Structures are given as C-alpha cells and as structure tokens.
Amino acid sequence: MKAIRGATTVEKDEAENIKQRVKELLTEIKNANNLNEDNMIFILFSNTADIRSFYPAKAAREAGFFSCALYSSLEPEIENSLNRCIRVMVLADISTEPKHIYLHNAAALRKDLTAHINIAVDGPAGSGKSTVSELIAKRLNILHLDTGATYRAVALACKKYKIDFSDEHQVRANIDKFNIEIKYLNNKQSTMLDKIDVSDMIRTPEMSLAASTVSAYKCVRDKMVELQRKFASSNSCILDGRDIGSNVLPDAQFKFFLTASAEIRSKRRMAENQTKNINQPFDIVLADIMLRDKQDSMRKFAPLVCADDAIKIDTSDMGIDEVADKILKIIQEKV
C-alpha cells in the first residue's frame, strides 16, 4: 500500500470552484498512478481554514470517487501558509512509486516527498551499509542501489568469459562485452548479467575477492561509475559503496560513512554467510575482510575513503535498526 500526496489551491471560496479543483486534482492523481475503484482505499483531505463553502470530501463524492472512504479535516491557521489550499492523501493498493501531484501553485509540505534525493553511504566490507541502506530506502520509499553488486557482476562476467580477473589488460580488452544492468522488481534490486539475474551468484567469497581486485581497475570503475551516476540522476535513491560520497556523487545531499572493527565486521559476515549455507572459520573470514580493506583503501582510483563532509558512524556496538534510525533522524532534521 502506498500514500500518494497532492494539493491544489482554489481561486475563490466558492462551491463550484472547490468542486472543479478537487475533481481536477483527484483525476490527475488517478491517471498518474493508474488508480481505479479497486485499488483506491482511502482519500483524506485537509484544507486551510479560509475554505468554508464546501467540503472537499463531498466534492470528491460528487466527482465520482465514492468507492473508497472519504474524509475532510480543517488545518489550523498558520502564519504564511498558502491561501485557500486543499491537501489530499490517497491511500492506494499499488506497488509502483507514488506520483505526488501539486497544482495551481500548491506546494508539498514535506520537501522530502517530492524532491530528488541522493544519499551516499560508504564503508568497509561488513560495516552494515547494505542492510542499513535497504532499511532506509524502504522507510523513505526510495530505491537502494548496492554498488558493490556492480563490481561483483564484473567479477562474475570474467569467470563466465574465462578472463583472468587478476590481469587488468585482459579485463580492459573485454569489458565492453559485459552487459551489466540493474533492474527493480517491487523496489528490490536485481543485478543482471547478459539479461540473467545473477543477484545470488555474485554473493560468494570467491566473487567478493575478485570484485575487490577488478574494482581497482580504471576501465572497470569508469564503466560502473557511469552506470551508478546515471541511475542516481534519474531516481531518488540511496547508494552504498566505497567511493559514493567522495567520487560517484560528490554533491549528494546526505553522506554517511559507517565503520566497525574488523572483528565485529567478520562476525557479521560469518552470520550472513551462514544464512546462505557458506560456512567458513572466523580466521578465514577475518583475513578476507582485512585483505579487502587493504585492497579497497590502497588502490589508486577512488579508494575507500570517508568524504570530508560525510557523517561518520561507528556501528560496532549498534544494531542495524539503531543505525538506520540514527541516519533517518539526521535526514529528517535536514529536509
């Protein structure tokens, strides 16, 4: 279920004008979001106190929106608020991104609902950035792009085409062959290689290390960063990776850098691996994490680094929800 917002103003506090503007607003919301009698559940109006001639909910019923529940309420008189403004929230059973509609100079009360927003979350392997980013994306109803998956897909492509991933020349000579795409189904990311969903295949310890190696190559970074920037420019989204705040999206409105001790990160990675039936001893996981930290931080191009303007959060003693709540609080305070 999604909440679709909208607002309009009316020229005069007159029944006809209110009816016409309510009908126009609801019709635009309905068309933009592919709504119908079956998926519209509830329409809630509020209007400024200078509208007295007609209830917006009644106008909606007269306009033919009577299959769902309707409700009107009055807003308090607030200094500098818009004159004669009707706001609406439509609850609808849809899975697509809601399209909010604002007409006749009405503006969104909450900027975060309509503004294009990019959030960068960086950090080393196992710092919790992917899980936290997924939670935040859900709560803000935006998309989450796990950029590590794009490098993992390059590593898998090397395996598929029998290219030695540790040989930069070979990778450079073949990279244009790799058809890597990101798709979303119900807001969940699928990483595609040659039109096949490889989201699970890239999550092995072998692909982790190979991704860390190929992500150091300039030819790989150029191609993946282009894909990531294109995605971020056309979607409100949260990107997690190693160089998002410092390189991919230096102008992102929000930047966070998550850290945790190597031991804690290894324990988390072990637990995650176990859910996928990958059982490795602690020492091996720790060595792998430390090697990746070294490779990711020492490389020449766009290394793992905390951007100057990123907010650093040590997650060693924090649960995932706690980290997500902290980030959301910072975001809400700023929008």
The yes or no reply on residue 152 touching ligand DC (CB under 6 A) is yes
Q: How far is the CB of 117 from ligand DC (least distance, A)?
A: 19
147 touches ligand DC (CB under 6 A) = yes
For residues 262 and 268, give the distance between their C-alpha atoms in angstroms, rounded to a whole number: 10
| Smallest distance from ligand DC to CB 269, Å | 9
Cβ contact 238:144 at 8 Å: yes
Find the shortest distance in angstroms from Cβ 28 to ligand DC: 39
- Helix, strand, or coil here: 178? coil
Backbone dihedral angles phi then psi of residue 320, each to the nearest 5 degrees: -60, -45
Q: Counting contacts by CB under 6 A, is residue 215 touching ligand DC?
A: yes
Region near ligand DC per CB under 6 A, out of 28-36, 89-97, 103-111, 148-156: 148-156
**Residue 208 interacting with ligand DC (CB under 6 A):** yes
Identify the burial level of 76 via C-beta atoms within 10 angstroms of its C-beta, where 0-12 means exposed, 13-18 middle and 19 or more buried.
exposed
Range 57-96, binding ligand DC (CB under 6 A): none
Under rule CB under 6 A, residue 288 binds ligand DC: no
| One-letter-per-residue 3-state SS of 38-93 | CCEEEEEEEECCCCCCCCHHHHHHHCCCCCCEEEEEECCCCCCCCCCEEEEEEEEC
Kindly state whether residue 178 participates in binding ligand DC, applying the rule CB under 6 A. Answer: no
Q: Does 148 bind ligand DC (CB under 6 A)?
A: yes
C-beta of 27: minimal distance to ligand DC in Å? 43
Per-residue tokens: 231: 């995605």
The answer to whether residues 98 and 2 touch, using CB atoms and an 8 Å cutoff, is yes
Q: Please tell me whether residue 199 binds ligand DC under the rule CB under 6 A.
A: no
Strand arrangement, sheet containing 180-185: 180-185, 188-193, 196-197
Residue 212 binding ligand DC, by CB under 6 A? yes
Q: Under the rule (CB under 6 A), what is the footprint of ligand DC?
A: 125, 147-148, 151-152, 208, 211-212, 215, 241-244, 292, 296
